[in-house]
Amino acid sequence: MIRKSLLVTFDFPPVRGGISSFMLNVVQALPDDSIAVLTENHLESTSYAFPVYRKKLITTSRFIWPRWLPLLWHMYHIVLRSRISVIQVGQILPFGTCALILKKIFRIPYIVYVYGNDLIIMRHSSRKMRQIRHILLNAEKIIGCSHYTKQLAIENGAPADRTMALYPCPTIHPPIGFNQSEIDEFKSAHKLTHKRILITIGNLVLRKGHDQVIKALPEVIKYIPDCMYIICGKGPQFHHLQQTVRFHQLDAYVQFWPQVNHHDLQKLYRSCDVFIMPSRILRDKDGLPIDVEGFGIVYLEANLYGKPVIGGNTGGVPEAIKNGVSGMTVDPEDISSIARAVITILSDERLACRLGEEGRIRAHQKFDWQKESKLLMSVLHEK
């Protein structure tokens, strides 16, 4: 018997991103009558078989403190009304604080999901780190999105015997039915005919390393003059990346695609030669990490299309990419290392095909949500 749970998260469709996809996977793995979701009140036309409560969770009123009191109020009422037996916390703060309070009121256990950044970004605040340790110590289970994030949680106070890794698994699967003429038309429409195509798909944030790929392009172009780099996504780095392209006089070699519909995204995966995202660890002035890639589901999505991938050898990325098998991991701070990896794959068709095919097999076999969800079900099973 699966205990009825409430998942509380900021990241849930229509919000895009790896965490949002992961949270949707979690709830869809459970029986519809055993799960409810509380999330921010984004407009969303999609209906689900399970209840989704969309509320304003954090107040902007200067007369209410702490600002997460509306969140606690909504959680309290849903727990009472829906006979919730366990709370799943999508983000450790502030949801973990509210779950801890409700545990003390109702003796209701809670589960915490961690992704890496949610732990290291708080290290500048001793008060918040004490709060995080208290939340982790009192959780029934702590679930990391990789073994890297699992270990990070343990280092920050999570009991090792209650901490586990649960891999996010790709939900984008290559459609059957695209013929070559459709791909040729797509490439022609976007001036990609006879181009060797690199792509990065994700939010335009500094951690992802788009700027490092741009800086590596002049060296790549010496050997692969028909190279084209496509950057898909939006984010705070957009204008900086445009300026970097102009500074290096690479306008003819880089395209920005801020918005891509699902159909074109599938065609882009089909059309590209390499997926690249050399994610790096960002550090503060004292050298402490402040931003890291906890896993990287997008590498697996590219692998499912039979494409070789290149990523940074930091955080949880080496768990998503098996170096020399599904792609290559590189030093994301070393522009020459990034350029060499791109040149090596684009210059060797047999190598590219082998990495892409072995990556496809690995993504299917190792990152299967049906297998991973059994671990989740065992956690939520009636005690």
Domains present along the chain, CATH in parentheses: 5-169+368-380 (3.40.50.2000), 180-366 (3.40.50.2000)
Q: What pLDDT, on a 0 to 100 scale, did the predictor assign at position 285? A: 87
Dihedral of CA atoms 143, 12, 71, 79 in degrees, nearest 10, equals: -70
Q: What pLDDT, on a 0 to 100 scale, did the predictor assign at position 124? A: 79
Q: What pLDDT, on a 0 to 100 scale, did the predictor assign at position 301? A: 94
**3-class state of residue 39 by DSSP:** strand
Burial class (CB within 10 angstroms; exposed 0-12, middle 13-18, buried 19+) of 383: exposed
Closest CA to 197 of 277, 311, 299, 275: 275
Q: What pLDDT, on a 0 to 100 scale, did the predictor assign at position 383? A: 66
150-176 pLDDT per residue, tens = 999 999 999 999 999 999 998 766 765
Q: What pLDDT, on a 0 to 100 scale, did the predictor assign at position 288? A: 82
Report pTM.
0.93
What are the residue ranges in the chain where pLDDT is below 50?
none
Q: What pLDDT, on a 0 to 100 scale, did the predictor assign at position 371? A: 86
How far, CA to CA in Å, does 239 sit from each of 217, 256, 359? 18, 11, 33
* Angle formed at CA 345 by CA 341 and CA 349, multiple of 5 degrees: 170
Q: What would the two tokens of residue 276 be?
A: 């690249």
88-120 pLDDT per residue, tens = 999 999 999 999 999 999 999 999 999 998 998
Q: What pLDDT, on a 0 to 100 scale, did the predictor assign at position 377? A: 92
Q: What pLDDT, on a 0 to 100 scale, did the predictor assign at position 42? A: 82
